[in-house]
Chain A
């Protein structure tokens, strides 16, 4: 196979930091090459250098053996290198075809500046067909599901017929069936001799789609291997620098009394007739496709969505929850999926975020008790070993795992007893994931009731005591962890027969 791309001795210095240190990387044509590493390992720096967003400090880049300088993103595109970033960069108020042709709209008349809509309609239709997508080029991007938006992003990247496609966590917001579709597309591209650099935090999918893997750690290239020759353990060890013995530190705990019970719950966001209970020391996993109502269950219990029918009981006492404020009073804490927008106030410092829910209680006749705030913050920074230079550090600058711990600390100091986790480990490093799991177990040990919504099958299977499966707002499956099998859960998630044994 021909070498398409070679990056040699690439280094990148930022003031005070060596983000990349003498990194070699090469790409064959028709290859799907996984780039792995923890957050801050240098993956995105390497990609940004390749896509022209950053300039390398040292080293050389060759395309087809020819030395090239990639000075800016436009140059990169001209050279046939396209990136699909993790955060979708689409104009939600415009149509699919307009988005795909954004910045390169063909004109039907130069003088008047009129756009040739027929042409972009046809061309978009061709691309959509090729990708097996069923929405029309005229659809508003904002009306599409996130997964379809992702596909629009891919369609956009394919438009220039690039040779090298870089995909930065394209699967993080997709459900399993959508991921399958994406992989099919990737394999088609591969057959057409395109090369793909693929980044994903989901370990299991690397072997499904990848050919080779390169692993970065602290700015250094640790290894490049064929995925046939390395197993999951090997990858994790290379990424973290030490072996992680137990990825899911689940323990069998004594299950205590009922803490939370919901009966016939329906909300204005489409969940119907939901009933279940959670006991002290128990982790209830909720699985289902994106949009199946998983998150909405948590939001309804937390008072973030409006409850239309049904009852909620805390320790067998019926409670009325009309707002998150009520929920917090009853000891419920929500750790939302979108940590940056909903979990934290990014511009506030660690201390302020930890004490956010209890600030009013800590204050004396309205005046903040700074001393108490510091004490409480310190206590939880130590307890959860949150890695932050100090408690006045902006939360924005923390790593994902540490941000998640700050959110958790907020509920711990609010003395919550019911924890609603929504995708607790999304976008978090392998090492930090284990820490989050350990914290969940610790909470359960102390008698907390935990509900965990997750798209990651291994997480659901290995961390839950019981599992609920959602489909279109209703519970379609109930499993005990020891009887649960991935295919049964998937079946229920797709709306198949209720195959659960109680």
Chain B
């Protein structure tokens, strides 16, 4: 008994250290990246570069939040990138007619929400697999964006509108401010409201949730609508930053968004995921990309690195869960 006590003690220390590392592993890993990149590149550790990273990350983060919501319910949304393009070009077309910038924003948000709503109805009511329903919407929204613009980029010169993407408040870029607002609200909803709790319940078990009296269908429709709405938000941020709305904008963004959510601990099986985790996921991708750019690594090789990071991050998370 005495010997076993001794070994439990060392075990305890070890597991404490393990727990600590696991708990703050996000910060630890980001810190490692930052230190490594600072040593490797003289341009990396500067205020301007960090602001730059944040700005680049903001769109992916907003879409990552959309995916986090959907993934928690054990769904997936492949259409966020296409919805972004469609919402963006409709807002752009409206601005081109001399329309008010607030109305333009509302149009983008509305278009996004409607696309999301359709996704939700297809999943919850028509019982299509989320992968299929949103794969269809991915093609439809992209096609519509190309149709209404005849494939041409829409130039945006409304200064009020472009401020949202290019302006600063106290030298903080607007995209970062919008991302922070999304972060606070979406995190609050997931953690503090009954709606958030029900999303986790639905992801954990559809059937048990339904048999507990939760209106599962309605909540799922709402979740996809939120995802579409956030795609609209991302559309505004991106097009305002680019001063133009290209119909091919956001291609492949859905994959980055999924990666951000999954690196952040969301489980494609549902029931798991956190907004702060998604922020971490988006930051990891952003920092790596930025660092590799500064180091002059080719964009081809960057893709390889990002892929490895995704697999590694999720693998680490699996190990961590096993440990728990």
Chain A contact residues, CB within 8 Å of chain B? 15-16, 302, 304, 323-325, 327-329, 334, 336, 341-348, 352, 356-357, 359-360, 362-363, 366-368, 410, 414
Interface size class of chain B, counting residues whose CB lies under 8 Å from the partner chain: 20 to 34
Complex contact A356–B195 (CB within 8 A): no
Inter-chain contact B204/A348, CB cutoff 8 Å = yes
Taking A325-B215, A327-B213 as known contacts, 11 extra A-B pairs with beta carbons closer than 8 A to each other, sorted by chain A number, are A15-B11, A324-B211, A336-B211, A342-B207, A343-B211, A345-B205, A345-B209, A347-B204, A348-B200, A356-B212, A360-B198
A363 touches B271 (CB 8 A): no
Residue in A15, A16, A323, A345 whose beta carbon sits within 8 Å of that of B208 in the complex: A345
Contact of A359 among B8, B194, B211, B271 (CB under 8 A): B194
The distance from the CB of A317 to the nearest CB of chain B, in whole angstroms, is 19
Structural contact, B193 and A352, CB atoms closer than 8 A: no
Q: How many A-B residue pairs have CB under 8 A?
A: 76
Q: Which residues of B contact A329 (CB under 8 A)?
A: 213
- A360 to chain B: closest residue by CB: B194
| B6 sits at the interface (CB 8 A) | no
With A344-B205, A352-B197 already in contact, the answer to whether A334 and B211 are too (CB < 8 A) is yes
Kindly identify which residue among B192, B211, B214 contacts A304, using a CB–CB cutoff of 8 Å.
B211
Please state if A356 and B215 are interface contacts (CB–CB under 8 Å). Answer: no
CB-CB < 8 A to B214: which residues of A? Answer: 325, 356-357
A414 lies within 8 A of B213 (CB): yes
User: Across the interface, do B194 and A342 meet the contact criterion of CB distance under 8 Å?
Assistant: no
| B210 in the interface (beta carbon within 8 A) | yes
Q: In the assembly, what is the distance between CA of A105 and CA of B11, in Å?
A: 46
| Contact sample, A vs B, 5 pairs, CB 8 Å cutoff | A324-B210, A328-B212, A328-B213, A342-B207, A343-B208
* Contact residues in A for B209 (Cβ distance below 8 Å): 345, 356
Q: Does B201 contact A (CB under 8 A)?
A: yes
CA distance A342 to B201 in the complex (A): 11
Binary contact readout B198-235 vs A (1 if CB under 8 angstroms, 0 otherwise): 10110011011111111100000000000000000000
Is B194 in contact with A357, judged by CB distance below 8 angstroms?
Answer: no
Give, as a whole number of angstroms, the nearest-CB distance from A502 to chain B. 33
Is the Cβ of B208 less than 8 Å from the Cβ of A359?
Answer: no
Q: Complex Cα distance A329/B214, Å?
A: 11
Q: Which residues of A contact B213 (CB under 8 A)?
A: 324-325, 327-329, 357, 414
In the assembled complex, which residues on chain B have CB atoms less than 8 Å from the CB atom of A302?
Answer: 211
Contacts of A341 in B (CB 8 A): 205, 207-208
Q: How far is the CB of B178 from chain A (nearest CB, A)?
A: 22
A347 and B192 within 8 A (CB): no
Q: Are B204 and A366 in contact (CB under 8 A)?
A: no
Bound together, the chains give a CA A71 to CA B195 distance in angstroms of 49
Residues of A near B210 (CB, < 8 A) are 304, 323-324
Q: Kindly identify, within residues 82 to 104 of chain B, every residue whose CB is under 8 Å from any CB belonging to chain A.
A: none
